[in-house]
Amino acid sequence: MVDKNSFINFIREEINKQITLNSVSDEELRIIIENSVRDSVQLKNNYMSISERIKVIDDIFNSIRGFGVLDNILSDENVTEIMINGPDKIFIEKNGKVFKINEKFESAEKLNDIIQRIVGKAGREVNQANPIVDTRLPDGSRVNVVLPPIAIDGATITIRKFSKNPMTIKKLIQYNSITEEIAQILKLLVISKYNIFISGGTGSGKTTFLNALSNYIPKEERVITIEDSAELQIKNIDNLIRLETRNSNTSGVGQITIRDLIKSALRMRPERIVVGEVRGSEALDMLQAMNTGHDGSLSTGHANSSKDMLSRLETMVLTGADGLPLAAIRQQIASSIDIIIHLSRMRDKTRKTVEISEVCGINDGNIVLNPIYEFVEDKNNSEDIVFGKLTRTKNEFLNYSKLNVAGFNLKI
């Protein structure tokens, strides 16, 4: 019986001795590996089934050109998140549950090799001078890397898996995140160019919801997306420009921020600007863009509630405009954002839309929120499972102006 790990290491070392890896293509390398595995099995008179041989060839190829043990995890479509805390601690989120798996990297050096391979493919750099980086895998999965000594127990990688099938409103309805009726209303709000902000905690599904909502943007419009790491999957827009930030190089120059990209986007004649997530001083630029002829813009942000999102936006704007009066900031927010959709990850790990509110100006110096839909739990609830649905509040919807201009005559 062949010891799989020893066999893989032996073949890999033999190939490294025979060829210069940079001089062969992926196809040529795979052929070399296939021949080496066949010859080695025959020479040692060991039996290996066809399925075992294919698996070994894949593992050897992945260890040389792929991402090592990560490749098998990434290929599992039920895995939604991967958390690596040093070479010997790998956690995954699968079907809503987080747990540790037995897989591990051979060494800290091997983990570092994989990290350099990941960031290199996206044209990024990570090193001791620049130990934190946000990047993405070739398939679009979002990656965050933190190196020692910042990460005390070893290099850390967090990967948010990229869905091969873009989220749609239809799927959100199937998952009971929203209803058919609410989906139709959101469709009309997007078409009518309401500025919509999606808030929620980590893992609540903000980017997923933004992806679904973006499918309602009319296909003839010119849309610019701005992200730290490109992961939005907008498929129906022909006139689409995708922009992505860039970290500074080892000399500390060349950084391109979301704020830089928003300013540049305003010179590119956009009809809508979609900002993947605002988390800092760029909030002011985004609000100004929304308030200066770029209606229909979409964005997301981290917050625990719709009200909390407004407070966080105030703080973000202050970081980019120190000295700007709070009253002026609140006026800017109230004038720019029309709708806030708040998402939450419930106690049973499901993701729900828990509130849809309209922003209704300023009253006594405070931004007024008018909740239109709220998630109401029903009697079938338990500690383990959340049942309920988005329910229309008794509050009257107030801002029909954009709907009327777009030619829609309906009552929300």
The C-alpha atoms of residue 57 and residue 331 are separated, in whole angstroms, by 62
- Compute the chain's Rg from CA coordinates: 25
Confidence at residue 6, expressed as pLDDT on a 0 to 100 scale: 76
Considering 136, 160, 184, which residue would you say is the last residue of a domain? Answer: 160
Q: Is 217 exposed, middle or buried, given 0-12, 13-18 or 19+ CB atoms closer than 10 A?
A: buried
| 119 and 255 share one domain | no
Q: Cα-flanking dihedrals φ and ψ of residue 231, to 5°? A: -140, -5
- Per-residue CA distances from 381 to 68, 97, 350 (Å): 43, 20, 13
| 341 and 237 share one domain | yes
The C-alpha atoms of residue 396 and residue 340 are separated, in whole angstroms, by 16
The C-alpha atoms of residue 359 and residue 340 are separated, in whole angstroms, by 7
Residue 279: Cβ within 10 Å count: 14
Longest CA–CA separation in the chain, Å: 85
| 60 and 75 share one domain | no
Q: What is the mean pLDDT of each successive set of 10 residues along the chain, which is 412 residues long? A: 70 78 76 84 74 81 78 86 94 88 88 89 83 86 92 94 79 88 95 97 89 92 90 88 83 84 92 92 90 89 95 91 87 95 88 94 95 90 81 95 93 90
Q: How many domains does the chain divide into?
A: 3
| 110 and 202 share one domain | no
SS (H, E, C) the chain: CCCHHHHHHHHHHHHHHHCCHHHCCHHHHHHHHHHHHHHHHHHCCCCCCHHHHHHHHHHHHHHHCCCCHHHHHHCCCCEEEEEEECCCCEEEEECCEEEEECCCCCCHHHHHHHHHHHHHHCCCCCCCCCCEEEEECCCCCEEEEECCCCCCCCCEEEEECCCCCCCCHHHHHHCCCCCHHHHHHHHHHHHCCCCEEEEECCCCCHHHHHHHHHCCCCCCCCEEEEECCCCCCCCCCCCEEEEECECCCCCCCCCECHHHHHHHHCCCCCCEEEECCCCCCHHHHHHHHHCCCCCCCEEEEECCCHHHHHHHHHHHHHHHCCCCCHHHHHHHHHHHCCEEEEEEECCCCCEEEEEEEEEEEEECCEEEEEEEEEEEECCCCCCCCCCEEEEECCCCCCCCHHHHHCCCCCCC
| 57 and 85 share one domain | no
| 92 and 49 share one domain | no
| 317 and 269 share one domain | yes
| 133 within domain boundaries | yes
Q: Which range of residues forms the domain containing residue 132?
A: 69-160
Confidence at residue 65, expressed as pLDDT on a 0 to 100 scale: 72
Confidence at residue 110, expressed as pLDDT on a 0 to 100 scale: 85
Q: At 154, which amino acid appears?
A: G
- Per-residue CA distances from 172 to 58, 201, 296, 351 (Å): 36, 18, 21, 10
| 239 and 280 share one domain | yes
Confidence at residue 197, expressed as pLDDT on a 0 to 100 scale: 97
Considering 64, 85, 116, which residue would you say is the last residue of a domain? Answer: 64
Q: Which candidate, 405, 388, 47, places its Cα nearest to that of 193?
A: 405
Confidence at residue 250, expressed as pLDDT on a 0 to 100 scale: 65
| 410 within domain boundaries | no
Beta bridge partners of 362: 367
| 37 and 149 share one domain | no
| 75 and 15 share one domain | no
Confidence at residue 293, expressed as pLDDT on a 0 to 100 scale: 78
| 58 and 74 share one domain | no
| 199 and 149 share one domain | no
- 131 Cβ contact list (under 8 Å, min separation 6): 146, 147, 148, 149, 150, 151
